[in-house]
Structure 1
Amino acid sequence: MRTRTLLLAPLLLSTSCATVSPKAQAPDATTAEAKSPAPERPFGTLREQAKRQQAWLAERVEKALPQLMRQYGVDMWVIPMREYNEDPVFKALVSPTSFAARRRTIYVFFDRGPEQGVERLALGGGSQGGLYTPRRAQRQVDGGGVSREAELWGPEQWQVLKQVVEERQPKRIALNVSRTFAFADGLSHGEYEGMSEALGPDWVKRFTSVDGLAVDFIAWRSADEARFYEEQTKLAWNIIETAFSNQVITPGVTTTRDVEWWMRQRLADLGLETWFQPSVDLQRQGVTEKELGEDPIIQRGDVLHCDYGVTALGLNTDTQHMGYVLREGETDVPAGLKAALKTSNRLQDIVFEELRPGRTGNDILRTSRERMRAEGIDGTVYSHPIGLHGHGAGPMVGLWDRQEGVPGNGDHKVIANQWYSIELQATSVVPEWNGQQVRSAQEEDITIDAEGRVHWAWKRQTDFHLVR
């Protein structure tokens, strides 16, 4: 209880909690409302956020969709799904006010050519703010009366799809079926069977699986999303900087788990979420990881490390930073630890320079590791796409346990307008720690613009966060 009680004061300060005097504990409703602090909304109200997200969706379906369908030689893309069993591409297709598919929803995209563009149909579900043309099944009313449109999800809806297909006569019908990419494998077996039975063997012959269409469509990001992502990344940095400071950490008292929960709670207080439980770990001179245990108390002289993600407006960040707890009498980080961070910064430089559109993840990994070894760096590269998902759609650039390359997934190519988390580690010998090895693990997000230029989403860490 002592640990938690002592930690409570900085937590309250950093989450802007106010102390209420006994005299003011029971004011009338009007006074209470007037004196309540305004909620912290770093990205505006939900309504304001949704307006911006809707603009992103419009640009994605109006600009990226036609480009990708033509690139992959597909004139029709059919994406059927059922409520709570949505295709992974669902998040990239719908407005921020759509949380799940409606009964059965079948999205159909048909390329009518450069002049007329791609037709967007929703068989079931809504128009997503006017971006889709809804089409419904016709249902007879009361024993053969006048027919009317109905939101059906049984065999009738498959017949609507058949009508749509027969009217348009597509040459290639793309389906989301893949043994390589989860993002391109959203068609369930039951939906495939129902669609195949309804359309018949002649149309089934035109079914094709095009992994890259779904993957690249999910991965594609607009210029305004990148502008927002800079602000989102700044917020992640701000929270990490506070977490790795004396506002949250009292050496000899605070544990790593205390800091993890503070970081998660801070997001909840801001009305935001994360896509994974934050993690905080440490390295200590002369002490092994096993000896530290699962929830060690942070002491002076410890090297801190965190892994943290912020979810906002449907987008995700992924950041790993390093911190240091100054010893009594110290005013700066020991030179050997600074050198270790500089080495991982150099490995970041290498991957940053190699990561560009048109190259496969495995090629980027191979050349990065060749340069890493040539410079004498003992490191590991395990970078990944990011965006609508934390571990996003696109080619992997290594896995921590697959440094020889990732078959299949790593063979896909990076595209323009895609984002990555440059995730890696470099291990260095630290003289001040009697030659003990220290692992400097860093992760920083980057954006690739329409011209293929790579940018840090905001900046990258070059100095330790300090607990004094």
Structure 2
Amino acid sequence: MTVSNIVREKTDQAVETLEETNVDAWITFGRDTADAPDPMQPLILGEEFIWPGMVLLTRGGRKIVICESHDAGNIQDLGLFDVRPYEESLESAFSEAIEEVDPETIAVNYSRSDSTADGLSHGLYLELEHYLEGTEYHDALTGAEDVIAGVRGRKSSTELERIQKAVDLAQEFLEQMRRSWQPSWSEADVAAFLHEQIDDHEIETAWERSMCPVVTAGAEADHGHAKPSSRTLPRGEVLRLDFGVVYEEYCSDMQRLYYYPEEGETSPPAELQSAFEDVRAAIAAGFDALEPGVEGHEVDRAARDVITERGWPEFKHGLGHQVGRRVHDGGAYLGPTWERYGEAPYREVSEGEVFTIELGIETQWGYLAQEEMARVTESGATYLTEPQRELKPLVEA
């Protein structure tokens, strides 16, 4: 599938979202986008601007791109846009287009709490205000956060296929690691094994390679966002991995736990198994609460209540984030109503969104965390990952 598949799907989706949000026009405005890309531009254009350029989409279905003439060729080749090249000034071409569209509301990409909706630079915002000065559209500007949440959050069929492939590959690599694992392996050796699988498939890690995977070996490991170390896993301890890959620009993100048995052990200690099941139960509660129309903080609360009712302190982060072109993909957030999360936990969950469901607890075996991925369906949710329902043993290969 080509970039134009994504752009066609997402611009069609944008037109529908503009109608749903009662917004007449949406502008994505950029320049030198190789250095300062707007997070939405790859989805709704798939090409870069060298000189100032904009994508103008309307609730009536118009798809206009205004760009410098040297940027126009590749965009015209997409066959999706009314491309309007300019030579000396974008302003005149923009003024003509906006008068044709005649919008009462113009959404632009700024947001106080969502980085994926905050791609418009302050300088270009001022430039846009200058273009509109003295016109009837000067007071029409509004933030595009609601539009972007709908367009970026609700994944198209092509996007879902790519995310699922990224999930499947990551799960395959983790199982290969488990079956190949050696007691002499350090955290860094585990990471190197997974990097080898990634390189063999000519794909990339889902976040910075030096920290993907996050590998923590045992109770003495640093359980934050630390790089894999030379620490090996003692018997009777737990190996935790936080891992994801990128397949054709779309991500996966999951956490898995593995136990290295004591000699002669046939199952994990009862207290460890019970703690694992507590985490599993909270994950399941969050999954069961995930459905269209529920606010993100309500899903978080369902899982948080289970973990505290079972005697554990509440986890100090949100339950889940959206996944797509980025591991943290903006929009609605499954989290508590803390200031650090802004308005995202108050957003309603929508069909087609993809979320992680993740939490952990501090135990004598270290940090026990699980992370699954789920897609929101019309009637609830479905797992994209194969849920970790047991604490799998690490046995010397």
Q: Tell me whether the two structures share a fold, i.e. TM-score over 0.5.
A: yes
**Does the CA-based 8 Å contact 2:286-2:357 persist in structure 1?**
yes
Distance in 2 between the 1:58 and 1:198 partners?
29
In structure 2, the residue matched to 1:270 is 201
Match of 2:166 among 232, 235, 249: 232
**Does the CA-based 8 Å contact 2:106-2:142 persist in structure 1?**
yes
Note if 1:415 corresponds to 2:363.
Answer: no
Within 5 Å, give how 1:148-297 maps onto structure 2.
Answer: 152=87, 156-202=89-135, 203-245=137-179, 247=180, 249-251=181-183, 253-276=184-207, 277=211, 278-284=213-219, 294-297=229-232
SS at match of 1:303: strand
The alpha carbon displacement at 1:465 in A equals 3.4
Q: What amino acid does structure 2 have at the position aligned with 1:426?
A: I
| CA offset digits 1:58-80 (Å, max 9, x no partner) | 22222x21221012111111111
In structure 2, the residue matched to 1:133 is 82
Within 5 Å, give how 1:377-416 maps onto structure 2.
Answer: 377-380=312-315, 381-398=318-335, 406-416=341-351
**Does the CA-based 8 Å contact 1:216-1:393 persist in structure 2?**
no
Distance 1:175 1:325, change over 3 A: same
Note if 1:103 corresponds to 2:81.
Answer: no
Gaps of 5+ in 2: none
In structure 2, the residue matched to 1:445 is 373
Q: What amino acid does structure 2 have at the position aligned with 1:418?
A: E
The alpha carbon displacement at 1:157 in A equals 1.2
Distance in 1 between the 2:165 and 2:54 partners?
35
SS at match of 2:204: coil
**Does the CA-based 8 Å contact 1:379-1:427 persist in structure 2?**
no
The alpha carbon displacement at 1:311 in A equals 0.6
The alpha carbon displacement at 1:219 in A equals 1.3
| CA offset digits 1:95-133 (Å, max 9, x no partner) | 4xx3x3343221001222xxxxx1111112413621222
**Does the CA-based 8 Å contact 2:206-2:253 persist in structure 1?**
no
Distance in 2 between the 1:289 and 1:268 partners?
27
Distance in 1 between the 2:237 and 2:313 partners?
22
Distance in 1 between the 2:174 and 2:15 partners?
40
Match of 2:9 among 38, 56, 59: 59
| CA offset digits 1:24-78 (Å, max 9, x no partner) | xxxxxxxxxxxxxxxxxxxxxxxxxx43x5334322222x212210121111111
The alpha carbon displacement at 1:368 in A equals 3.3
Match of 1:454 among 354, 363, 381: 381
Note if 1:328 corresponds to 2:263.
Answer: yes
The alpha carbon displacement at 1:208 in A equals 1.5
SS at match of 1:230: helix
SS at match of 1:135: strand
Distance in 2 between the 1:420 and 1:236 partners?
16
Distance in 2 between the 1:404 and 1:441 partners?
24
Distance in 2 between the 1:106 and 1:56 partners?
18
Distance in 2 between the 1:123 and 1:333 partners?
62
In structure 2, the residue matched to 1:122 is 65
**Does the CA-based 8 Å contact 1:398-1:405 persist in structure 2?**
no
Distance in 2 between the 1:56 and 1:453 partners?
25
In structure 2, the residue matched to 1:81 is 30
Q: What amino acid does structure 1 have at the position aligned with 2:20?
A: Q
Q: What amino acid does structure 1 have at the position aligned with 2:320?
A: S
Distance 1:443 1:325, change over 3 A: same
Q: What amino acid does structure 2 have at the position aligned with 1:439?
A: Y
TM-score by length of 2: 0.86
**Does the CA-based 8 Å contact 1:315-1:388 persist in structure 2?**
yes
Supply the RMSD in Å over aligned alpha carbons: 2.5
The alpha carbon displacement at 1:230 in A equals 2.9
**Does the CA-based 8 Å contact 1:72-1:210 persist in structure 2?**
no
| CA offset digits 1:309-364 (Å, max 9, x no partner) | 11112211101000112333334433333322222111111110112222222232
SS at match of 1:384: coil
Distance 1:76 1:210, change over 3 A: same
Distance in 2 between the 1:294 and 1:218 partners?
36
| CA offset digits 1:365-415 (Å, max 9, x no partner) | 23432344345454525311111211112222227xx87984422222221
Distance in 1 between the 2:360 and 2:152 partners?
28
Distance in 1 between the 2:243 and 2:123 partners?
38
Distance in 1 between the 2:76 and 2:311 partners?
56
The alpha carbon displacement at 1:416 in A equals 1.3
Moved more, 191-200 or 169-178: 191-200
Match of 1:68 among 7, 10, 17: 17
In structure 2, the residue matched to 1:26 is none
Distance in 1 between the 2:313 and 2:373 partners?
22
Distance 1:272 1:444, change over 3 A: same
| CA offset digits 1:213-247 (Å, max 9, x no partner) | 112211120235334433321211111122233x2
Moved more, 387-396 or 200-209: 200-209
Distance 1:289 1:180, change over 3 A: closer
Distance in 1 between the 2:320 and 2:334 partners?
5
Distance in 2 between the 1:77 and 1:298 partners?
53
The alpha carbon displacement at 1:188 in A equals 0.8
Distance 1:198 1:54, change over 3 A: closer
Distance 1:403 1:416, change over 3 A: same
Distance 1:463 1:128, change over 3 A: farther
**Does the CA-based 8 Å contact 1:379-1:425 persist in structure 2?**
no
Distance in 2 between the 1:262 and 1:93 partners?
36
State the identity %. 22
